[in-house]
Structure 1
C-alpha cells in the first residue's frame, strides 16, 4: 500500500519540484544528477516507444512528454543561472562543451545548429504533421468503428463486455492521437526555446565576463561559449531522443509485435528483393575510385540474410487451414451466413445512419435499454436487434422487421423532431404521424423544439419515436420472438432455483414444444410470463389430467389470475362487462372441439351481434376513461376471445376464476344480451 501511495505522489511531487527548480538556484552536484536523469529517462522513453505493440500501450506518452519538456526547460534555466552567475554549470555541461567544441568555437556552434535543425525541421515537424493527420483521421473514423462494434454485438459475435472494451479502445485511440497532436507542439516549442536560451547564454555570458569579471574578450568568448554550447547539447540530446520517440509513436501502423519484430519480419519477407539488393551492393565495387571493402561487407551480409530467409508459400499451395479461415464468397459457410435471417432487425435509410453514431445519437443505447425493459415487462429476452442501413428504403424512413418480414415502418427525417398537438401551422416542417398511437403531428426543425413546446405540443426526438415503435412491435409480436431455444433457456433458469418444478413438468409430462405453444398463447393475449414457477406448477397439474392446449393455457392463466386482473384495474376498481346468463349457457352448449381448439358453433348473425354488442359497451366505457374487460366462464373464454379478435375488436376477455382472485372492487357496467335476444 505504501508503494502504491508513493507512486501516486511521485508525479505531483516531481512537477512541483520542477517549478521550484525554475526559481531556486541549484548546486552543481544536483544539476549534474538531474541532467543525467533527464538523458536516461529520454533514452528509456525512446526504447519503450520501440518495444510497445501499439501506441495505446504507451498512452501516458503525451502527458510524459509535457512533464519531460518542462523538466528540460527547468534544467536550462538552472544552468543559465549558474553560467551567468558563477561561470560554472557543473561537470556534465563542461564535459559536453569541451568534447564537442574541442577548442574550436565554430565547430561547436555548427554541431549544435545541426542538432537543432534535425530536431526542429526534420523529426519534430514530421511528427507534428503525422500526429495532426492521425488525430483527424481517427476522429473521422470513429462513427464507422462504433457502427462496426454495434453490428458485431447485434450479430452475437461479441458480448456486451467485449463491445464495451472495444468502444473504450476506440475512444482512447481518438483521445491519444488528439493529445499527441498537442504534445508535438511542446517538442517544437522546446526546440525553439533551446535556440533562444543558447543565444542568451552566449551574449549574456560574454557581457558578464567582460563587464563584471573583467575578462578579456577572447577568454570570455571561449569560456562562456563552451558552457553555453554544453548546456545546449545536454538539453538537445534528450530533446532529440523524445522527438524521435514522438515520431515513432505516431507513425506506428496496424502491426502486431514491437517495432523490432515488425521491421525484421517485413524487411525480410521478400527473399528476391534481398538478393537483388545484395548483388547491387557488390556491383558497386566495380566503379573506379569507390572503396571495395565496405560494399563487399554490406553486399555479402545482405546475401547471407537472403539465404536464411524462407521462401514465401504461394497462395495456391497455402494450407487447407487458411482456406477454412478465409472461405470464398461461394462456399457453403459464406452462403449459409448470408442466408441467415435475423429474428429482429431495424433497417435505416442511408440518411438516418447518424442515429447509430455514438457521438451524435443514442439509439443503440436505447435499444439495449429496451431489451431490459421488455424482459422486466413481458418475461421474454428480446433477441439482439440487428441495426443496418438499407439502400432500398426511401430517404428518412425506417423499417422494423421480424424474421425478414416488415412488422412496422415510419419516418424520422434528419435534423427534425416530432411535434404532436395542435396549433403547429406557424412552424415550418412536414406532416407526420406518431407510429404507435396514430396521433397527427409535424416534423419540425430540431432548433425549433422550444417554440413547438411553447405552442402546447408534445415534442419527441427521432430516436424516441423509433424506440417507442420498436417496443410496440415487440409487444405485439412477442410470441413470434419466443423461440424453442429461448424456452430452453427460461426452463434452465427456473431449474437453477426450482429444480423439482422443471423436472416434474418436462420431459415427462410436456415437451418443450408444448410449453412453447402455451407461453406463446399467453403472450398473444398480453399476459407476461415472468412468473414461470407458478406457470410450470399449473401446467404440471393440468398435464396429468389432459394435454389439451386450451386447457393448459387456462390453467396457466388461472394460476396468474390476480396478476392478470390487476393489469386492467384502475384505482382499485375493475370494470367488467358480463354475458347474459341465458346467452352464456347457449354459447357453452355450442362449443365444439377441433384440432386448433374449441370453437362456438353459432350462426354468423349471432356472432356479429355478440361482437357488435361487446364493442359498443367497451367503447362507451373507454370514452369515460375506463379499461373494461369481458368476463365469462373459463371454458368459454378462449373461443369468445377468438371470436372478438376475428371481429377486429381487441376486447380483453377474462374468466370468472381469474377475476375472483383479484383484490380489486368489481364494477359491472353492462351486459351483452343482444345476441341471445336476436336469436330468439
Structure 2
C-alpha cells in the first residue's frame, strides 16, 4: 500500500491534500483573503455540511462513519476560520464589501429587512442551541456510558457464539473489534458534541461583536451616520451569521441523528417509512382528523381536504398490500408444512456435531453468563489449549440442553455417540484424595468422571478443611471442563477428518509450499496423510510439528505404502517430541521393559493380512501376558509414576494395541524413539515366564 502511494503524484494523495487543507485553515486565521475566495470557502462549508447530513441519513451503522467526531472538529474549526475571515473583510471594507453570498443572505434571504434577519438568526441560534445541540450532547453522554457498560456482555455473547459454533474465530475477532470501535466512537462523540455547543455560542458572540464593531468603525473612522452604519453592518453581519449558522445547523442535525440511531438496521428513510407508515389505521385516523378540521368554519378547505384524502387513499392501498402479504405468508406456511412431510425434509437432521456437550436443565446456569456461568469461556479456552497441545484445529463444541437427561447430568458425545457422562451437584465442590490422606470428609461419595478416581461432593463450609488436609478440590464447571479436555485428547483421532487435513495442508502451504508439493508428488493422498495423523493422535502424539511429519511422509511414501509402518517411521522422526512427553526434570524416562521372550512371542504371533498386521497369540500365553502387564502397571502406579513401556520397534505398534485394552492411558515407545540425550531407567519388566525375569 505504501508503494502504491509513492507511485502517485502529491495532488492525487488524499493524506497530503488534507494536510494542506489544515494548513490553509490556519492561514485563514492570519492572512486576509479576497471576497471571491471567501464566497468559494463559504460554499465549501455549505457543501460539507450537506454531504455529511445526507451521508448519515443513508448509512446503516454508526461505524460506517467512524471518522465523524474528527470530521466534526475539523468542520467546526473551518467554519470559525471562515467566520473570522468574513468578519475581517466586513469591518475593513464596510459598504464596499463584495462578498456575494453574505450579501445575498443579508438582502434576498431575509427580504432586505435586517430586523427580520436578526429574528431569523436568533431563532436559528435558539433551535440549534436549546433543542438540537443540548439533546445531542445528552444522548452522546448516555450512549457512551451504556455502550461501555454493555461491552462485557457483548464480549461474552461472542464467546458463547464461538463455543456454540455459530461464528468462526475470524468472525468473532471482527465482532470484538467492532464492539471496541463502537465504544471508542461513542466515547469520542461524548466530547465531540461539545464542539457543536461551543460553535453555537461563538457564532452568537461573533455576530454581536460584528454589529458593535461595525457601528464603531463606521461612525468613528468612516464618518457614517448612525442609520447608515446600522443598515450596512447589521445587514452584512446577519448575512455572515446565517451563512455560518446554517452549515452549523446541518452538522448539529447530523450529530443528533448519528447518536440517536444506535439500534438502526437500515438507512433513515427506509426505517421511517417502514415503521411510521406500517399501520393503515393511523393514516385513517389522521385523515379523519384533517377532514374534520376542513369542515370547521374559518379553516382552509383545500389543503386540509387534499391532505386528508391523500392519507385516506394511501392507507387504503397500504392495507391492501398488507393483506396480500398475509395471504402470501399463509400460502408459504402451508407449502412449508406440506414439504415438511416429504422425505427431503429430514436431510437437515442428518448433520451431526463432531463434538457436543449436552446438559440437564439444572446445569443450565453453568453456561448462562447472566447467572455468572463461565463454562462457555472455559470451553473456548479448552479448544485453544487442545489445539496448541495436539496441533489439531478442533471444530466448535456444540453445547445444548437435553430434557431427556437427568437434571444434574451431562453427556459428552463424539459424532452423536456418547463417550462420557457425569453427574454434577450444583453449589458443591468435588474433593479428591491424592492417596495419602486418611481423614474422611462429610459428603456424598462419588467417582470423578474424567479419570475414574474416588471423590466426594462437599459443601462450601467443608471446602477450606478439605484443602487444608490436602484434598484436591474443584468446582462444578472444572469437573466438566476437565472431563471434556480428557475426552478431546483421547478421541482426537476420531475427530480428525479429511476436510480437517486439507485445512492443515492449506495452512502449511502458505509458508512451506515446497513440502506440501513434494508430498503430493510422492503420491500421498489426503486419506493417506489422514491415516498417519490419526495413528499419531490415537496414542497422544501431537501433530503440531506438521513440517517434520510431512517431510518424513515425502521421504518414505514412494517406497512404503503401509500406513502402520509410516506411523512408526514418523514417530521415530518425532523422537525428541515423544520423549519430552515422558521425561522428568533430569531428562530421564522411567520405563517398564518387555522381556525377550515376550518380544519373540509377539513377533511370532503377528499375522500379516490385507488389512494390515493382526495379533494372534495363543489364549493361554495371552492371558499370562495381560496379567503380567496389569501387575507391573499396578506396581508403577503405587510409586506415583505414569506407566511407560519400552519395546523393540518391530512389536511397538502391536504391543500398544494390547496395552490399550487394559491400560488406556499408558504410553508405549520403542528403542528407536529414544533421543540421544535421554536417560532410561527400568522400573519394571514384563515376562511370560518367571525364569525370564532372572
State the TM-score, normalized to the length of structure 2: 0.69
Q: Deviations over 1:484-516 (max 9, x none)?
A: 76579789999986458768997xxx9x9xx86
Q: Which residue of 1 aligns with 2:647?
A: 631
Q: Which residue of 1 aligns with 2:540?
A: 526
| Distance apart, 1:400 and its partner CA | 10
1:18 maps to which of 18, 25, 29 = 25
Q: Which residue of 1 aligns with 2:272?
A: 263
Q: Which stretches in structure 2 are left out of the alignment for 5+ residues?
A: 1-7, 359-363, 428-447, 454-476, 510-514
Q: Which residue of 1 aligns with 2:568?
A: 558
2:667 maps to which of 652, 663, 670 = 652
Structure 1 CA distance for aligned equivalents of residues 40 and 183 of structure 2: 37
Structure 1 CA distance for aligned equivalents of residues 142 and 337 of structure 2: 33
The reply on whether 1:220 has 2:220 as its aligned counterpart is no
SS in 1 for 2:297: coil
| Distance apart, 1:235 and its partner CA | 0.9
Structure 1 CA distance for aligned equivalents of residues 600 and 395 of structure 2: 44
Contact 1:611/1:644, CA 8 A, preserved across alignment:
no
Contact 1:491/1:502, CA 8 A, preserved across alignment:
no
Contact 1:51/1:259, CA 8 A, preserved across alignment:
yes
Contact 1:577/1:669, CA 8 A, preserved across alignment:
yes
The reply on whether 1:37 has 2:44 as its aligned counterpart is yes
Kindly tell me: are residues 160 and 472 of structure 1, through their superposed partners in 2, closer, same or farther at Cα, counting changes over 3 Å?
same
| Distance apart, 1:475 and its partner CA | 2.7
Structure 2 CA distance for aligned equivalents of residues 186 and 464 of structure 1: 52
Q: Which residue of 1 aligns with 2:329?
A: 318
Contact 1:598/1:639, CA 8 A, preserved across alignment:
no
Contact 1:522/1:528, CA 8 A, preserved across alignment:
yes
How does 1:439-454 map onto structure 2 within 5 Å?
none
| Distance apart, 1:286 and its partner CA | 1.0
Structure 1 CA distance for aligned equivalents of residues 137 and 149 of structure 2: 18
Structure 1 CA distance for aligned equivalents of residues 402 and 199 of structure 2: 52
SS in 1 for 2:321: coil
The reply on whether 1:568 has 2:568 as its aligned counterpart is no
Contact 1:349/1:398, CA 8 A, preserved across alignment:
no
1:68 maps to which of 47, 72, 75 = 75
| Distance apart, 1:279 and its partner CA | 3.8
Structure 2 CA distance for aligned equivalents of residues 51 and 613 of structure 1: 76
Q: Which residue of 2 aligns with 1:343?
A: 355
Structure 2 CA distance for aligned equivalents of residues 214 and 471 of structure 1: 93
| Distance apart, 1:296 and its partner CA | 2.2
1:181 maps to which of 185, 190, 204 = 190
| Distance apart, 1:474 and its partner CA | 3.2
Structure 2 CA distance for aligned equivalents of residues 136 and 323 of structure 1: 47
Structure 1 CA distance for aligned equivalents of residues 522 and 285 of structure 2: 77
Q: Deviations over 1:317-344 (max 9, x none)?
A: 5065578999999999899779965605
Structure 2 CA distance for aligned equivalents of residues 521 and 488 of structure 1: 17
Once structures 1 and 2 are overlaid, which stretch shifts more, 253-262 or 287-296? Answer: 253-262
Q: Which residue of 2 aligns with 1:672?
A: 685
Kindly tell me: are residues 200 and 386 of structure 1, through their superposed partners in 2, closer, same or farther at Cα, counting changes over 3 Å?
farther
Kindly tell me: are residues 603 and 338 of structure 1, through their superposed partners in 2, closer, same or farther at Cα, counting changes over 3 Å?
closer
SS in 2 for 1:672: strand
The reply on whether 1:120 has 2:114 as its aligned counterpart is no
Structure 2 CA distance for aligned equivalents of residues 264 and 485 of structure 1: 47
The reply on whether 1:77 has 2:77 as its aligned counterpart is no
Matched residues, number: 609
Structure 2 CA distance for aligned equivalents of residues 574 and 44 of structure 1: 74
| Distance apart, 1:75 and its partner CA | 1.8
State the TM-score, normalized to the length of structure 1: 0.70
Q: Which residue of 1 aligns with 2:311?
A: 302
Structure 2 CA distance for aligned equivalents of residues 464 and 90 of structure 1: 80
The reply on whether 1:247 has 2:256 as its aligned counterpart is yes
Q: Deviations over 1:340-378 (max 9, x none)?
A: 656055995546998989xxx99798667546524xx45
Structure 2 CA distance for aligned equivalents of residues 618 and 598 of structure 1: 29
Q: Deviations over 1:628-679 (max 9, x none)?
A: 642257447634764487368x5533346x45x9767885746726763289
How does 1:150-189 map onto structure 2 within 5 Å?
150-189=159-198
Q: Which residue of 2 aligns with 1:198?
A: 207
Q: Which stretches in structure 1 are left out of the alignment for 5+ residues?
A: 392-396, 414-432, 439-462, 545-551
Structure 2 CA distance for aligned equivalents of residues 141 and 327 of structure 1: 43
Q: Deviations over 1:259-303 (max 9, x none)?
A: 334434444444444344334323322101112122123223334
Kindly tell me: are residues 621 and 145 of structure 1, through their superposed partners in 2, closer, same or farther at Cα, counting changes over 3 Å?
closer
Kindly tell me: are residues 618 and 247 of structure 1, through their superposed partners in 2, closer, same or farther at Cα, counting changes over 3 Å?
closer
1:280 maps to which of 280, 283, 289 = 289
Structure 2 CA distance for aligned equivalents of residues 33 and 636 of structure 1: 87
| Distance apart, 1:127 and its partner CA | 2.3
SS in 2 for 1:73: helix
SS in 1 for 2:15: helix
